[in-house]
Structure 1
Amino acid sequence: MLTLNKIVKLLNEKSIKVIVTEDKIYIDNRLDESIPIENHYGISIQDGKWSYCFYVLERKNNIQTEVLKSFINKEEAENYLFLQQINKYFINNYVIASRNHEIENWTIELVRKEMKRVGIPSNYLSYGSEIFSNSILYSNESGKWYSGYINTNNELIYKTKCGNDEQDWFLSLYGNDVYILYLFDIYQSELLDKKEVLRPFSDKEKLIVLGYE
């Protein structure tokens, strides 16, 4: 796991400001620091456990804390915060920015075409008889669509529990996961090359970045 100092450093490199206090570590996403902070994410102790939280301050005098996930120790909470912010960074800076909003009726063929357009190798998507390691899996079972992650050992370690029968909505949403996985692999290689991390991220850590945990 990454140390808190390393987490702060790596997020700062992405222009993500981390505020560390004795009892709370949170993301300050203000563009103008003269304006009081409003809604934000972070970790703090809730009911005796370090927890990842959403702090609601927008148009409120008192902060409202929504606990999203609790952990057995502070280190796990810190690393979860890091991976969640990397997910948000990829979505806001790459996925949304490159989105083709002209597509109304999404199909597997269009997802693959969009992957090619933004430079994602085809083996980041598994579907039908084409199954690849370290890829996002799409499956259609009895008219319902499911998504999952196949790890580097070619094992399906995650699959959405509930299927969705709206193909357009499903493919447009989970197409994001293919892009995020690709971007995270590039980021991981950069960190390994610079010796910022000494080992590849675990399957569990990848699931967090993908928004599955």
Structure 2
Amino acid sequence: MNIKQAAVLLEQEGIRVEATGQSIHVIPVAQDENIYKLEKRDEQWVYLFIQYERNSEGREMIVNTFRDETEAANYFFLVTLQSSYFQKYIFTFKEKNTSLKIGTPSFTMSALQKALSSLQVVHTSFSFFDEEVAPHSIHLKRVSPTECKVQYIGNNKQVVFETIELEDWDAYSAMFDYVYLLALLDQKCKNLAENHQIEEAFSDEDFAIFLTA
């Protein structure tokens, strides 16, 4: 993936971006809105957080660096898409289903199961506790009577990443987010492949970037 392709794919999702051969960033809604920007500097690409709020005159902080345009554009596409999906789908779901109490200490295991069932995602994409893990899935691992970790399982059934120990309700909330995000990116990948818009499938590491952005 290059900058031009990332821009095209994000625009297809309704995400307005400004792109040149040397940089790309999401066009902010407000003039004083903070932005993330990817740009080439010397022989490397840098992913920047640029602060405009609170009368800041564009103060920059380097978040990540990359060796080449392909790696950099791929990262920008994934983290930007995740941010959009989180607002468009996950935040909206939580607003419409406040009775589930996702993200609060009152969020229970039964509420998590109810939330996941309403997403109509296949059960092979997630597993709980002692259930056998499946390739390319999200697993909820019990680590104490009151704490869990959430793991992303790769295509070879290896743990690609896991959260720190979280209180049950917090882990259940993270589990919901990750399962929903995984399903969304899987569908996006399927659409891109069918339309011949990507040459290679995203790797386990790419999915990890997307999930943890």
Q: Classify the TM-score, shorter chain.
A: 0.7 to 0.9
CA distance in 1, matches of 2:142, 2:107: 14
Per-residue CA deviations over 1:121-151 (Å, capped at 9, x if unaligned) read: 2222121222222111111212432111112
- Report the counterpart of residue 146 of structure 1 in structure 2: 149
- Report the counterpart of residue 27 of structure 2 in structure 1: 28
- Report the counterpart of residue 162 of structure 2 in structure 1: 159
Q: Given the superposition, is the C-alpha separation of residues 21 and 59 from structure 1 closer, same or farther in structure 2, using an over 3 Å criterion?
A: farther
Moved over 3 A (4+): 21-24, 45-49
Q: Is the 8 A contact 2:115 2:176 kept in 1?
A: no
Cα offset, 1:22, TM superposition:
6.0
**Counterpart residue identity of residue 203, structure 1:** D
- Taking only the aligned residue pairs, the percentage that are identical comes to 23
Per mean C-alpha deviation after superposition, the further-off stretch among 193-202 and 21-30 is 21-30
Q: SS of 2:79's equivalent? A: helix
1:2-151 matches, cutoff 5 A: 2-21=1-20, 23-30=22-29, 36=31, 38-45=33-40, 49-99=44-94, 100-104=97-101, 105-130=106-131, 131-143=133-145, 144-151=147-154
Q: SS of 2:93's equivalent? A: coil
CA distance in 2, matches of 1:48, 1:57: 27
Q: What's the RMSD between the two structures over aligned residues?
A: 2.1
Q: SS of 1:77's equivalent? A: helix
Q: Which runs of 5+ in 1 are unaligned?
A: none
**Counterpart residue identity of residue 88, structure 1:** S
Bigger proportion of residues as helix: 2
Q: Which runs of 5+ in 2 are unaligned?
A: none
